[in-house]
Amino acid sequence: MKFPEKFLLWMALTLLALTFGPGLLAQSDRGSITGTVVDPSGAAIPAAKVEATQTATNFSRQVESTATGNYVIPELPAGAYTLTVSTAGFKSYTRTGITVAVSQTARVDITLEVGTVTQSVEVRADATLLRTEDAEISTSINNDYITSLPLDFSNAIRNPMSFIKIVPGSNINLDSSWPVTSQNGLQSFTEELRVDGATSTNPTPGVFNEVQPSVDAIQEFSVQTSNFNAEYGQAGGAIFNFTLKSGTNDLHGTVYEYLRNEALNACNHDLECIDASGDRHPSKQRRHDFGGTVGGPFVIPRLYNGRDKTFWFTSFEDFYSRDPRQGFWSVPRNEWRDGDLSSLLLPNILGTDALGRSIREGQIYDPATTREVFAGQVDPVTGLVATRDATVRDPFTDNQVPLRSSVAQEVLGFIPQASNSGLDRNNLLGPTGTPLRDSRIWSLKVDHHFSPKSHLSSSFNYMWTHKINGDDPFGAASAARDQTITSKTFRLNHDYIFSPTMINHFTFGVLRYQNPDGVPDRGFDPEAELGLSGTLITGWFPRFQYGLSDIGTNQLKHLYHTVPTVTDSVSKVIGSHTFKFGAEYRKALANFFGGNGAYGNLTFRREQSALPEAAAEGFYGQLGSEFASFLLGEVGVAGMNSPVNMAYRSSDYAFYAQDEWKVTPRLTVNYGLRYDLHKPLTEKYGRISSFVADLPNPAAGNTPGGLGFLGDCEACVGRNSWLDTDWKDFGPRIGAAYRVSNKTVFRGGFGVVYGRLEVNTFDPIQSVGSGSVTTSYPSIDQVTQSLFNMDDGFPAVNAVPPVFDPTLLNNQGINVFSRESGRLPRIYNWNFTIQQEITSNLLIEAAYVGNHGTRLIAGFLKDLNQNDFSVLSMGNTLLEQVNSEADAQALGVPYPYPGFTGTVAQALRPYPQYRSILDPQATVGESDYNALQLTVRQRPSRGLDFLLSYTLSKNITTVDDAFGWGGFGIIGAVNAKNLSLERGLAVDTTFTNSRGDRTHNMALSFGYDLPFAKSAQSAVVRKLAGGWRVAGIFQYASGAALPLSPYWPNNLANVIFNNEGRYDRVAGVPIRNNVSDAWPGVSFMFNPDAFADPQDFTPGNAARTYGNLRGFPFLNEDLSITKQVRFTENKRLEIRMDAFNLLNRSIFNNPSTAVYDTPRTQGGRAVGYGTFWGRMNIERQMQISLRLVF
């Protein structure tokens, strides 16, 4: 740790320890009670004693009203409270049944009657539902509501994040095993997760379901989505605040069991209902989720009585799943195995080659016959006269491909035969998904009151998960991963009351996470069993990508994360002001071991068995075959990585100030300022390498641009991080709430919030040379050349690291870390809200919510090595080969450096010695979100409670999800110099349906105690016919926006080197077909005539997205019916049945948007553009549960 980081840490810890001055409710899991104390005339009563007492524990906190009659009781644990007010000359006042929610303020205004203190007025009523103290948009949900709703655990242990779908502004999420969420149109994976006030946000995103507490251990949670106060930050999306249950003065707990079995499930057209013999019935499903909770006062008979003082609460949950699933896989057609690929040869004539021979679509060519021919000269092989200079190959007659590769023949022995050989794809029904998943969660929470002024709360949570991930039918060549994930989380909170108007709150937390994730060692020897030599490690099947379903190892890594956090705050009430100051320190330590690629990766491309001039003649993608290249052993792309160990580090500091000013009894103004300081990512030993623009490259004639390294060496830059610290991240916040009447509130606010930067340990940051060595065996001319024949084995890899060689990645793609890419994402958010209280328990809210995101994480969106679009005027010349300086002169282009070989387009790139130059940490994305959010909330009254939310929204962005790498749909820009071309509707790239613009989104959650037999005279009738409750979650949403698949055939990919091409939009032609009864494998949803191929060397004019290019609407109903059998007032048995997808609706997978994939019928099924296969939701499934509450 170097200055100024040492100084910053010292300053933060000093502020955390001082606890002096006006303070803060800082980022806690607590709530507060506020209001005014007045006499019958409305005049303020100062110095009145106001005491809040928690009903369950008798914990109390006392404050005094100020000179303006205001009072604030901050940092109250969530729960039910009794409020008592007394002062001389007035009757004492007691109000029971007040609910304090997480991160919310309950308002209770009190009018004291004239009299003596010994006289009293008692009222039983909850606080108003109106939000009268701030402009925050948030929703809180307590445990009673959580446990009454149907909670799907179809893929994993019950997860509290599954309930986010009922919150306004939330998007749909269909995968309970990976509960990704997006709030108010902002990026997924950027939310902040807090449990008992301390962060549970893992450095690697999307894994709360691997560090979570049990649902039954949660007292309450809140979701803050917009305009939260300055004490909250580090959130690009929402803030999720979970509070764990505490013990009370009475021993209480639960015991439960949830059961899933296929006998309870429906069956429909989906392939998972078809077994190996073709019979239709639900696939096997065995799931159990059982556990219990218990808590109470800490009592040791005759030694210690902890009632009203010391409490404990513990929970245990165990999840067991055996769920073999079936899915379609793509394997070679049976005749393909023998080299008969005639089914790919189509009658369409595309043109003629340089020897005058017809070129048929789908023709496969022999790479062994590659040769140059010259205009007017006789080709010595065929005797034909060439019509132009070109590189030619001879076609295989009728696509009969010889089986030249012995390695390919051995690999085929590990690939099962197609079950429907009439199809090129989706022709094998085999295992998929996660057939095995077990999880356990144990937690313990202890609360202790040292004195009326000092309160300590601590909790520990342990979670263990074992699963087989990504099952497939490939046996020894399987990519199925074996994971055993553990997490340990410790949290400590301490409150100290200096005076009735001043309180300190301190929080410490630490999260430990471990995830060994990879294909298990099967003792496989590639050289002995396949004849493939040169892999760095044995034990694993190499990876083969050959145009069908990939086979072989795809992952081998181990993650270790530690996240300590410290926060402190002090709250001070002065008159009508509640001042807040505080600080936070957080450090992320993310260690990574990876063997990815050490087993060898081989990719076979169609170009190796296509006509070399296919791209130049506009036949890109219409000739050759990946599988043919595989049979021939001709490798298009290959890679070999040495195992790598990385130790990433980053730190975050925050300082904030807030004032809640009660300007009048009806108007409250909140204003504050937060300062976020992010110390950018480093690696403990400096093992991160980067492209450096001005570094001489010896293997490229010392032209600028080479691989640089951290630290001190000839190719080193003398720094310990590639990223600069941004010292200017100030986030002002302002909001106001005005009570028009006692039943109507206007609220509005504006704020600037800074998100956080993820640490990517799913795919490690580039460490070539300093931490690992990658050998990709590249060729600048990647269009037609074969890297090597796999029967010859992998060529020798580079030396063992460290190798500080600036030329290591020449002729390959390389990553760059721009110094400004350490900037935190910045979000401007605003809202205007009207709340109307209909009854004391029914509230309607209408809100306009908007935000504008800048500096959003957009890894790999911007390629520094794209050619400028001005080169397109050179046309076909861009595809000519430059093999010497004479070639360059003849073609009128500069010769990049001695020894360069490649196309003219490659020679014109800013750094011709490289392919793409991408920044995985780039913060160049933008987004806009505008929405009308309507909410109707009924808290329990007459047996009914519900939350109805409706969102009408539009979400436009240049980048979708915040994974800082390309594996989740971040595929590059059409023009890296003009990212505005990427603006379009937000689309789903995570395949969890958690993202994507949906115009309409409605969710209804409810619970209703049926009024049967309540007045029956017979106790037997009351017990049998009474005690029934129905609850449900109904969701309805528009289809998600879909992106047009990238288009490459018009040569832009080979001359501009962009990763996303566009079509031309044909004016007046509708995008959607008029399909009234869509069905998988039958219907064509989209009209291919709406788009056309752009002219060669011309960018298409189509947009990235269109408003009517969407997937299917989301319609779902989950319902539960519960029978309660009461034994005593506090003991009952609940017998429950839950039904998920009650109406057995089918929500089909998104249709293909690959316009280039011509819609057609193959093997009796519709394939290509606009078609779709299978479904994204489950069939109707039911679960039975028993719960004993005591």
Give 126-155 as a DSSP string: PPPSS--S---EEEEEEHHHHHHS----SS
- Give the model's pLDDT for residue 21: 34
Strand ranges for 755-824 from DSSP E: 774-775, 814-815
Contact 831, 849 (CB under 8 A): yes
Highest mean pLDDT: which of 644-658, 841-855, 913-927, 1011-1025?
A: 841-855
Contact 783, 1054 (CB under 8 A): yes
Indicate the residue type of 1189: V
Kindly list the domain boundaries of the chain, sorted by start residue: 5-124
361: tokens are 């679509």
Q: Where are the alpha helices (DSSP H) in 986-1078?
A: 1019-1025, 1052-1055
The average pLDDT across 687-713 equals: 92
The average pLDDT across 378-401 equals: 94
Closest CA to 1152 of 1056, 1051, 1080: 1080
Count other Cβ atoms within 10 Å, centred on residue 1020.
9
- Lowest-confidence pick of 245-259, 542-556, 1160-1174, 1176-1190: 1160-1174
Burial 483-501 (b: 16+ CB within 10 A, else e): bebbbbbbbbbbbbbeebb
CA distance 925 to 324: 40
Cis peptide before 4 (omega within 30 of 0): yes
Q: Which residue has the higher pLDDT, 714 or 1100?
A: 1100
With H, G, I as helix, E, B as strand and everything else as coil, classify residue 753: strand
Cis peptide before 74 (omega within 30 of 0): no
Q: Residue 784 pLDDT more than 70?
A: no
Digit-coded pLDDT (tens) for 1010-1030: 988 776 667 777 777 788 999
Cα of 402 vs its chain's centroid, Å: 46
Q: Token match 């808290």: residue?
A: 939
Pick the CATH number of 5-124 from 1.10.10.10, 3.40.190.10, 2.60.40.1120, 3.40.50.2300: 2.60.40.1120
- Give the model's pLDDT for residue 22: 33
User: Mind spelling out the 3-state secondary structure of 593-638?
Assistant: EECCCCCCEEECCHHHHCCCCCCCCCCCCCCCCHHHHHHHCECCEE
Digit-coded pLDDT (tens) for 56-109: 999 899 999 988 899 999 889 888 999 999 998 898 999 998 999 888 888 999
The average pLDDT across 880-892 equals: 93
Digit-coded pLDDT (tens) for 125-145: 778 888 988 999 999 888 888
Strands 436-451 and 310-322 come out as antiparallel
Q: Please tell me the number of Cα atoms within 13 Å of 922 on its side-chain side.
A: 26
Contact 1094, 1147 (CB under 8 A): no
Q: Is 372 exposed, middle or buried (0-12, 13-18, 19+ CB in 10 A)?
A: middle
- Give the model's pLDDT for residue 1024: 76
DSSP category for residue 952: E
Q: Residue 958 pLDDT more than 50?
A: yes
- Give the model's pLDDT for residue 7: 46
Q: Residue 773 pLDDT more than 60?
A: no
CA 1011 vs CA 171, 385, 547, 943, 1093: distances in Å: 34, 93, 61, 8, 65
In degrees, rounded to 5, the angle at the alpha carbon of residue 43 between the alpha carbons of residues 39 and 45 is 65
The average pLDDT across 173-179 equals: 57
Count other Cβ atoms within 10 Å, centred on residue 3.
7
Q: Is 125 exposed, middle or buried (0-12, 13-18, 19+ CB in 10 A)?
A: exposed
Cβ contacts of 1045 within 8 Å, gap of 6 or more: 1152, 1153, 1154, 1155, 1156
Torsion of CA 879, 883, 886, 890, to 10 degrees: -10
- Give the model's pLDDT for residue 696: 95
Digit-coded pLDDT (tens) for 544-597: 999 999 999 888 888 889 999 999 999 999 989 999 999 999 999 988 887 777
CA distance 985 to 981: 12
Contact 726, 679 (CB under 8 A): no
CA distance 84 to 48: 10
Digit-coded pLDDT (tens) for 518-539: 888 889 999 999 999 988 888 9
- Give the model's pLDDT for residue 1049: 59
CA distance 819 to 841: 53
Closest CA to 774 of 808, 817, 804: 808
pLDDT band per the 50, 70, 90 thresholds, residue 18? very low
Cα of 768 vs its chain's centroid, Å: 27
What's the chain's length in residues? 1190
R_g (Cα) of the chain, nearest Å: 33
pLDDT band per the 50, 70, 90 thresholds, residue 819? confident
Closest CA to 861 of 765, 925, 766, 926: 925
pLDDT band per the 50, 70, 90 thresholds, residue 53? very high
Backbone angles phi, psi at 420, to 5 degrees: -135, 90
Q: Residue 770 pLDDT more than 80?
A: no
Q: Is 972 exposed, middle or buried (0-12, 13-18, 19+ CB in 10 A)?
A: buried
Contact 205, 182 (CB under 8 A): no
Digit-coded pLDDT (tens) for 1140-1151: 999 999 888 888
1175: tokens are 């479904």
Q: Which residue has the higher pLDDT, 669 or 862?
A: 669
Cβ contacts of 990 within 8 Å, gap of 6 or more: 180, 188, 961, 968, 969
- Lowest-confidence pick of 44-53, 612-621, 763-772, 1146-1155: 763-772
CA distance 432 to 329: 9
- Give the model's pLDDT for residue 125: 77
- Give the model's pLDDT for residue 143: 86
Backbone angles phi, psi at 516, to 5 degrees: -80, 115
Handedness of CA 266, 271, 274, 278 (dihedral sign): positive
Contact 649, 684 (CB under 8 A): yes
Q: Token match 């021939």: residue?
A: 632
CA 561 vs CA 76, 341, 649: distances in Å: 32, 49, 10
pTM exceeds 0.85: yes
Instruction: Tell me the Ramachandran region of residue 3: left when phi exceeds 0, alpha when psi lies from -120 to 50, beta otherwise.
Output: beta
CA distance 1014 to 15: 59
pLDDT band per the 50, 70, 90 thresholds, residue 14? very low
Cβ contacts of 41 within 8 Å, gap of 6 or more: none
User: Mind spelling out the 3-state secondary structure of 531-548?
Assistant: CCCCCCCCECCCEEECCC
Contact 315, 247 (CB under 8 A): no
Closest CA to 173 of 1190, 991, 1120, 1059: 991
CA 1162 vs CA 278, 305, 420, 855, 1158: distances in Å: 21, 77, 11, 46, 11
Strand ranges for 155-210 from DSSP E: 192-195, 198-199
